[in-house]
């Protein structure tokens, strides 16, 4: 499977905690395991801070607070035409919020980052957590994927 990942760093100082090639490889494996595209897959990923994600959350979701991850799934639109790509959507992650949550939950930064990245990817693949049954299914899938890649709650 061909993956076109547009990765944008909107915040500095995280290079020692994250390897961009590892992120791309992880996304590719998760997509290959969970989805069968007909064309090359395109995803954009923005790594940013609390101020930027709060602005996006306020503008697009009507919530004036920072959050860990926001996903915009393009497959939700029946009218979408994306040319040569199977454009799954956009994921925005606040690395500041990831660091805060890692401390709150007693996880490593890497484990928390890959949790929110997995959460965002599953949203792009059609998972949701509004209804309780859907939430259980999504949480189980998140834990399955994270465990398979060694990102357990213990590390």
Q: What is the pLDDT of residues 1-27, one digit of tens each?
A: 889 999 998 888 888 889 999 999 999
Question: Is position 128 within any domain?
Answer: yes
Question: Is position 18 within any domain?
Answer: yes
Q: Which residues are annotated as a binding site?
A: 119, 123, 129
CATH number of 47's domain: 3.40.390.30
Question: Is position 53 within any domain?
Answer: yes
Is 67's pLDDT higher than 80? yes
Sorting pLDDT into bands at 50, 70 and 90, what band is 81? Answer: low
Question: Is position 143 within any domain?
Answer: yes
Give me the domain span that covers residue 96: 3-148
Beta-strand runs (E) in 10-139 = 41-48, 69-73, 86-94
Question: Is position 154 within any domain?
Answer: no
Q: What is the pLDDT of residues 91-133, one digit of tens each?
A: 999 999 999 999 999 999 999 999 999 999 999 999 999 899 9
Question: Is position 153 within any domain?
Answer: no
Q: Which residues are annotated as a binding site for Zn(2+)?
A: 119, 123, 129
The total of structural domains in the chain comes to 1
The closest alpha carbon to 111, from 122, 101, 96, belongs to: 101
Residue 139: the pLDDT is 95
| Cα torsion 12, 97, 56, 80: sign | positive
Sorting pLDDT into bands at 50, 70 and 90, what band is 62? Answer: very high
Question: Is position 15 within any domain?
Answer: yes
SS3 content of the chain, % helix, strand, coil (to 5): 50, 20, 35
Is 59's pLDDT higher than 80? yes
DSSP 41: E
The predicted model scores a pTM of 0.93
Beta-strand runs (E) in the chain = 3-9, 41-48, 69-73, 86-94
Question: Is position 61 within any domain?
Answer: yes
Residue 82: the pLDDT is 64
């Amino acid at each position: 499977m061909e993956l076109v990942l547009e990765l944008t760093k909107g915040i500095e100082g995280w290079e020692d905690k994250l390897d961009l090639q590892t992120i791309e490889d992880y996304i590719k494996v998760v997509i290959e395991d969970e989805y069968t595209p007909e064309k090359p897959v395109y995803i954009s990923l923005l790594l940013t801070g609390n101020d930027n994600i709060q602005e996006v959350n306020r503008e697009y979701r009507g919530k004036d607070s920072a959050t860990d991850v926001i996903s915009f799934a393009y497959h939700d639109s029946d009218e979408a035409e994306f040319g040569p790509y199977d454009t799954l959507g956009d994921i925005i992650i606040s690395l500041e919020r990831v660091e805060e949550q890692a401390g709150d939950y007693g996880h490593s930064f890497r484990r928390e980052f890959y949790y929110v990245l997995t959460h965002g990817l599953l949203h792009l693949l059609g998972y949701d957590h509004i209804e309780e049954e859907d939430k259980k299914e999504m949480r189980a899938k998140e834990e399955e994927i994270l465990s398979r890649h060694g990102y357990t709650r213990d590390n």
